[in-house]
Chains A and B, each alone.
Chain A
Amino acid sequence: MFKSNNVTARIFQRQICTPAPGTSIYSARRFYENIVPSCTIYDVECPDHSFRKFTEDGLYLISFSRNHQDLIIYRPRWPSFSCKEEDCDTHELPPKAKKFEGFFTELYSVSLATSGELICKDFFLYMENNQFGLFATSTAQIHDAPAVGGAVQGVPCVEKITFHLLRMEDGVVLDERVFWSDYVNLAHSMGVFLYDDLLAIVSLRYQRIHILQIRDSGNLVDVRTIGEFCREDDELFLYSSVQSMANPDKSKQLHQMTMNHAANGLHHDRPAGETSFLSGIKQRLLSFIYQGIWKEETDQTLRMQCLKKKFYFHFQNYVDLIIWKVQFLDRHHLLIKFGSVDGGVSRNADNHPAFFAVYNMETTEITAFYQNSTDELYLLFELFCDHFHVSGKNSLYMNFISTHSNNIHNLEQLKSNKNKASSLSQFVKKMLSSLPFSCQSQSPSPYFDQSLFRYDEKLISATDRHRQSTDHPIKFISRRQPNILKFKIKPGPEAGNTDTRSKKISSFLFHPFLPLALSVQQTLFLQPAVVNIHFRR
Chain B
Amino acid sequence: MGSMLGDWPSFDPLNFSQLRPSDPSSPSRMTPVTYCPTHDRCQPPPNQVIASESRNILLRNMYKRTEDKLRSKRPASEILITDQGLKHPRTSTAESPF
Contacts and interface: CB of A to CB of B under 8 A. Distances in A.
26 contacts: A291-B70, A292-B69, A292-B70, A292-B76, A295-B69, A295-B72, A314-B97, A317-B98, A329-B59, A330-B59, A355-B97, A358-B62, A367-B59, A367-B66, A368-B66, A373-B91, A374-B91, A375-B80, A375-B90, A376-B76, A379-B84, A380-B58, A384-B57, A384-B58, A387-B58, A424-B89
Nearest to B54: A330
A229 B77 CA distance: 33
Interface string B46-68: 00000000011111011101100
B88 interface: yes
A355 B65 CA distance: 17
Interface of A: 291-292, 295-298, 314, 317, 329-330, 333, 353, 355, 358, 367-368, 371, 373-376, 379-380, 384, 387-388, 424-425
Nearest to A428: B91
Given A314-B98, A374-B91, A333 B59 contact: yes
Most A-side CB within 10 Å, residue of B62, B88, B89:
B62
A94 to B, nearest CB: 48
B87 to A, nearest CB: 11
A528 B75 CA distance: 59
A375 B62 contact: no
A380 B88 CA distance: 13
If over half of A's interface residues share one DSSP class (helix, strand or loop), that class is named, otherwise mixed; here it is mixed
Given A298-B73, A380-B61, A384-B57, 19 more contacts: A292-B69, A295-B69, A295-B70, A296-B73, A314-B96, A329-B56, A330-B56, A358-B59, A373-B91, A374-B91, A375-B91, A376-B65, A376-B76, A379-B80, A379-B88, A384-B61, A387-B56, A387-B59, A424-B89
Contacts of A329: 56, 58-59
Nearest to B92: A425
A367 B69 CA distance: 12
A388 to B, nearest CB: 7
Contacts of B55: 330
B98 A387 contact: no
Contacts of B88: 375, 379
B73 A388 contact: no
Nearest to B61: A380
A353 B56 contact: no
Contacts of A291: 70
Nearest to A381: B58
B91 A367 contact: no
A429 B76 CA distance: 19
A371 B61 CA distance: 17
Contacts of A298: 73
A320 B97 CA distance: 14
B91 A425 contact: yes
A296 B75 contact: yes
Contacts of B73: 295-298
A367 B98 contact: no
Contact of B80 (A317, A367, A376, A425): A376
A291 B77 CA distance: 16
